[in-house]
Amino acid sequence: MLHYTGMADGASARARLCDPEAEVSAHWLIHEGGLTEALVPEDRRAWHAGAGSWQGRDDVNSRSIGIELVNPGDRPFPERQMAALESLLVQIMARWDIPPEGVIAHSDLAPDRKTDPGPRFDWLRLARQGLAVWPEAGGDDLPLSESLARIGYPETAATLAAFRLRFRPGSSGPEDAEDRRRAAALAYSRV
């Protein structure tokens, strides 16, 4: 699961993620310059997901690996940071046999309360390398709620916004045919 720290510097982020009183942690921290730090062993639970669900299952902390990217959330992710993330994802995905659809955003599982890693994160870049999913063009215009549920999104009032944050950044307004086509392309291409 990918996050941004919401902080502008790595030292502050590390301090918070390692502070027991903060009650938040992650397995990995990737600095803007590409430095990658292991904070919690991958086979141990980290407290990065919080309340939410994915693919109908709660307690995502117990079944996920949290990667925090140092970024306040209002700027692009630097090349060296993205390259370090790609390298780390290749290793984690191989180690734990995680398919591309298993790489998700914090906002995917908690759409009512989270927006990270945000609209400036380059999901398409990861998808082109097989490290995440991206909808192929030409999906059918199927009911959006059914497609989003099949992908794994929880059913909340903010689910469309979370889907758009990842797959149609900058889109707004009521659902439209492009939302339905993209969601269907994702939902039914992994049968």
pLDDT tens string 20-65: 999 999 999 999 999 999 999 999 999 999 999 999 999 999 999 9
Dist CA 169 CA 115 (whole Å): 11
Catalytic residues, by residue number, are 68
The pLDDT tens digits for 149-188 are 999 999 999 999 999 999 999 999 999 999 999 999 999 9
- Annotated domain spans of the chain: 2-134, 135-191
Q: What is the pLDDT of residue 191?
A: 45
CA distances in angstroms from 39 to 5, 15, 25, 66, 84, listed in the order given:
14, 11, 8, 10, 16
The pTM of the whole model exceeds 0.85: yes
Distance of CA 3 to the CA centre of its chain: 6
Tell whether omega for the bond before 117 is within 30 degrees of 0, i.e. cis: yes
Q: At the topology level of CATH, where does 2-134 sit?
A: Lysozyme-like (3.40.80)
Q: Which residues contact 23 (CB under 8 A, 6 or more apart)?
A: 47
Lowest mean pLDDT among 102-111, 132-141, 147-156: 132-141
